Each structure stands twice: as structure tokens, then as C-alpha cells.
Structure 1
Amino acid sequence: MSAVIFIPARYASTRYPGKPLVELTGATGVAKSLIRRSWEAAQTVKGASAVYVLTDDDRIAEAARGFGADVLMTSSDARNGTERCAEGIAQLAQEPDTVVNLQGDAPLTPPWFVEALIDAMQDEAVQMATPVLKCDHETLSNFVSDRHAGRVGGTTAVMRADGTALYFSKEVLPYVGNLETPPEVWHHVGVYAYRPAALRAYMSWAEGPLERAEGLEQLRFLENGTPVTCVPVDGQGRVFWELNNPVDVNRIEGVLKKEGIA
């Protein structure tokens, strides 16, 4: 089964404009852009035949080509990374069996998360898959403090018994009344694997009210009856965090130093 990785990146983020080019300092004191760190993370994934940065912004494209990335230019009409991936796959000479969408704001994504998705897509019944990570106390505390401060932090997932998604939310679900004895909360990791046919179907659907309210692109699949398979992954001690707000820069740099990531 063939798989390619797409890294969608846009400059005009509502919450954090220009964040793909924000520099993050690693363990050796070297600063690299967010998009470069995401691309370097993708290079370590086993089972992917190619990695592309997808963008509609010349500044991001120039920076990506500068560190050696292959770039596909997409339209400014793409409203989210999934739509950008659908535009990207149309530009490939040969259609892969699986497209992986590795969010450009998640440089701490371990390669085994993506490899688990590629493995899950070996089941031909799976149309789309995404990883979920059981929250440790530190991550859950960050989620709760962000929401109390009015910031949007990570995304949580609630699932059926068969592992398919019931819902995704930027709220902390289920409700956490006490951090000392919290319920089981699953952090949705912003990586997706799709069948090309699922991407084409996605483009045929209008944005729904849940997707619009939450700002979560994967809800369009649920709103149109396409199951999303949640793949539990093990963080193996690594704190996973996305760059959603300026406050996340220090959090991510702390993990880069802790993990010895240059």
C-alpha cells in the first residue's frame, strides 16, 4: 500500500497569523521554523513514499523550498487542511492508496503515531483514521487551564465502543470536575489518513453547522455519515502539544529540549 504525507500550511491563521514561520529553539540552541520542524518530523515516518508541503502562500513556499521540501501550491479557497489535501492529491501524477495529513502546527508528532495510521488503513473498510492519545495529568491540566483562561487549546475525542468517533470538540470532553480524580479524556492528535475517494467526497459536501461551530474539519465526515476510525496511540512518555497560541511556543520548546530534539 502506497502512502504520501501532506503538510498543509497557511499564513493567514485567525488565532496566530504567520505561525508556520515562527521559530522554535531546540535542544542545541538552534532555531528552526515551525513548518521546518513539522517537515523534519514527517521525514522520520516509515512507510511513506513522499512528503509535500501544501500552501497558498509564497512566503511559506519559499521557506519550505529553502530547507529542501517538495511544495505543492494550493488555492486560497481551501478552508482547511483536508480541502488543501484534496487539492494536493489532484496534482500528483500517480494517486496513492493513502494520504496522510500531518498538521503543520504539530512538530512534536512522533513518527509512530503516523505509522499507526498507515497500518490502520490496511483495513480496506477504513475510509479515514486519526490518532487519539489518553491524556496524562500534565496535558489535561493544560487543557483545563486554557479553557478557564478563554484560550482554545487541544481537541478532545469521544468514541463508541468500536473505536469510531462520536464527536470531537475544542471543549474538554467529557466534563472534568476534579483534576485529582478526572474521567478518561482522549486528546485528539491533529493527523489524518484518508482514502482518495473519501477526500473527493469531502469536497462535495458543504460545511456543516458542527464543523462551523467548532472549527474542526473532521466533523464534516461525521455530519455526512462517514465513520472516523480513532487509533489509540502511546505517547511513550513524550508530551504532545500543538502550536495553537503564542503561549504554546514555550511549551513546545520545553519538550524539544527535554527530548533532545535539535
Structure 2
Amino acid sequence: MRAAIIIPARYKSSRFPGKPLQALKGADGVAKTLIQRSWEAAMAASGFAEVAVATDDDRIAEHARGFGAAVIMTPESCRNGTERCAAALPGLAAAPDLVVNLQGDAPLTPPWFVEALRDAMAASPEFDVATPVLRCDAEAHAAFLEDRAAGRVGGTTAVFDRAGRALYFSKEVIPYTGRTFGEEETPPVFHHVGCYAYRPAALAAYSGWPEGELERWEGLEQLRFLENGTPLKCVEVEARGRVFWEVNNPQDVPRVEAAMARAGLS
């Protein structure tokens, strides 16, 4: 299976304009931009034929080329990362059997998350789309609740059936538990990791569908697949002691920097 990673990045984020060029300090105190750290996370995954940044912004493109990334320019009309991956597909060096979308705001994505996603797709030909999910510990669950209490749109949660088939994704904390959890407890909540694997046919179909109503209300691109009856496999991944969090808002920058310091990530 020839697999490629595409990192979609746009400058005009409604919640965090210019987010890909936001600097984050690593454990060594050195600052690198969010897009560079996301590219480095992608490059750390093994078994991928190529990695490319897909953007519509010349500032991001110039910066990405400066640290050595391949860049594919895509239309400004792309409404989300999945549409941008579909637009970037013809710009890859060779046609892939699988495309992994590693979003440009997830520098804490460990390589084994991406590799597990690829391997699950190889083992599950009945699925054309897959995404990783990570069971929350008490600290992560508390961070979700803190964001919602403060009126911030933070990470995304996922619910799925016993076969791993996605049932729903939400910016709300689902399933509802009505309480917090102690350090030794395991909340029944799964954090959706902002990463997807698609077969090219699924990307082509997605681009031909109109934006879904649930997708629009939640602001979650993956709901378009569910609204059009395309099964989406949730692949449970293991933290292995690493904290996972995306940069959704400016308030997430110190959270991610603290996680990088804790993990010794430079």
C-alpha cells in the first residue's frame, strides 16, 4: 500500500487567525511554528511514501518550504481539511492507495497514532475512511469540561459501536456523565484525534457532496461522511504516557507547550 500524508493548513481561522504560524516552545526552549511541528510529527511516522503541506496561503507556503516541506497549493474555496486533501491529491508525486490527513494544529500526534491508522485501513478493506480515538483520562476529561464551562470550543469527542463504527462526533462532551472523575478512574469518553485516513475514492465522493447540516452546526468535517451513509472506522490508539491536545484556541498554546516539556519534545 502506497500511503501519503497531507497536512492541510489555512491562515484564515475564525477562532485563531494565523494559527499555522503561531510559535510554540519545545522542551529545549526553542520556538518553532505550529505547522513546522506538525510536519515534524508527520515525518516521524514510518512507512509513508511522501509528506506534503497543502495550503492556499503564500505565507504558509513560503515558510513551509523554508524548513524543507513539500508544498501543494490548493484553492481558497476549500472549506475544511478533507476538501483540501482532495484538492491536493493530484499534486502528490505519485497516486497513493491511502491518504492520511494530519491536521496542522496537532503537533502532539505521536507517530504510532498515524501508523495504527494506516495499518487499520490495510486490515479493514470494508472501510474507506478511518480516524483515531483516544480514551480520556481524568485530566483530559477535566480539560474538556473546563473548555465547555468557559464557553470555548475545544477538542472533539467520539462515540462508536462495538465494531468501531462511528456513531457521532461532537464538540460537546459525549457521552454525558454529569460528573468529574478521580485520578484513578477511567471516564467513558473518547477524544477524537484530528487525523483521518481515506481511500482516494472516498475523498472524491466527499468533494461532490454538499455541506451537511450536522457538519455545519458542529463545525466537524467528518460528519459529512456519516450524513451520506459512509461508514467511518474509529481506531482506538494508546497514549503510552503522552498527553494529546490540539491547538484549537490561543489558550491551548500554553497547554501544548507544557505537554511538550513534560514529554521532552524539542
Q: Shared fold by TM > 0.5?
A: yes
Per-residue CA distance 1:186-208 (angstroms, 9 max, x = gap): 00000000000000000110001
Say if 2:53 is the partner of 1:49.
Answer: no
Find the counterpart in structure 2 of residue 139 from structure 1. 140
Find the counterpart in structure 1 of residue 101 from structure 2. 101
- For these two proteins, the number of residue pairs brought into alignment is 262
Gaps of 5+ in 2: none
Classify the secondary structure of the residue corresponding to 1:90: helix
Find the counterpart in structure 1 of residue 220 from structure 2. 216
Find the counterpart in structure 1 of residue 128 from structure 2. 127
Work out the CA distance in 1 between the residues paired with 2:206 and 2:150.
Answer: 34
**Amino acid corresponding to residue 224 of structure 1 in structure 2:** N
TM-score by length of 1: 0.98
Classify the secondary structure of the residue corresponding to 1:99: strand
Say if 2:203 is the partner of 1:202.
Answer: no
Contact 1:174–1:183 under 8 Å retained in 2: no
Find the counterpart in structure 1 of residue 158 from structure 2. 157
Classify the secondary structure of the residue corresponding to 1:83: helix
Find the counterpart in structure 2 of residue 68 from structure 1. 68
Displacement, 1:176? Answer: 2.6
Find the counterpart in structure 2 of residue 3 from structure 1. 3
Gaps of 5+ in 1: none
Contact 2:11–2:17 under 8 Å retained in 1: yes
What is the aligned-residue RMSD (CA, Å)?
1.0
Say if 2:225 is the partner of 1:239.
Answer: no
Classify the secondary structure of the residue corresponding to 2:91: coil
Work out the CA distance in 2 between the residues paired with 1:35 and 1:238.
Answer: 20
Work out the CA distance in 2 between the residues paired with 1:28 and 1:210.
Answer: 42
Displacement, 1:146? Answer: 0.3
Per-residue CA distance 1:11-56 (angstroms, 9 max, x = gap): 0000000010000001111000000000001111011110000000
Match among 178, 184, 189 for residue 185 of structure 1: 189
**Amino acid corresponding to residue 139 of structure 1 in structure 2:** A
Per-residue CA distance 1:118-162 (angstroms, 9 max, x = gap): 101113212000000000111100000100000011000000121
Work out the CA distance in 1 between the residues paired with 2:235 and 2:181.
Answer: 27
Contact 2:181–2:187 under 8 Å retained in 1: no
Contact 2:245–2:256 under 8 Å retained in 1: yes
Sequence identity of aligned pairs in percent?
65
Find the counterpart in structure 2 of residue 21 from structure 1. 21
TM-score by length of 2: 0.97
Work out the CA distance in 2 between the residues paired with 1:119 and 1:196.
Answer: 16
Which stretch has the larger CA shift, 46-55 or 90-99? Answer: 90-99
Per-residue CA distance 1:63-113 (angstroms, 9 max, x = gap): 000000000000000000000000011223521000000000000000000
Work out the CA distance in 1 between the residues paired with 2:248 and 2:91.
Answer: 29
